[in-house]
Amino acid sequence: MDMEPVNDDARAQQMAGCARLSPGLFALPAESIAESLASRELSPQGASSGLRLLTFYISYAAKWLSPSRRRKLEKAKKLLSDRITREAQDHADEAS
């Protein structure tokens, strides 16, 4: 049985259980990555699950990421983290 080789990017997405991710998501600008991973479509449990997914991807892909791509993914990670903090603060303000 011949199997097609799977590129490392696709393998990382498979391991992360990312069937809902569109191919090439992690090649987009940092803002688009953060926005997509925070969406309810990709992260039904909220932006924090998108952050966990991105963190996993960065860790797994670290072997073959170029420095510029890693910086872009780290920027997306920071944007997601900031969004989670903002949402938590907004929620706390509403509860007061």
User: What pLDDT sits at residue 15?
Assistant: 52
User: What pLDDT sits at residue 44?
Assistant: 81
Average pLDDT along the chain, 96 residues, taken 10 residues at a time: 51 56 87 92 86 91 90 96 91 80
Length of the chain: 96
Angle (deg, nearest 10), helices 30-38 and 67-95:
40
Q: Residue for token digits 């926005």?
A: 35
User: What pLDDT sits at residue 1?
Assistant: 41
User: What pLDDT sits at residue 24?
Assistant: 86
User: What pLDDT sits at residue 22?
Assistant: 79
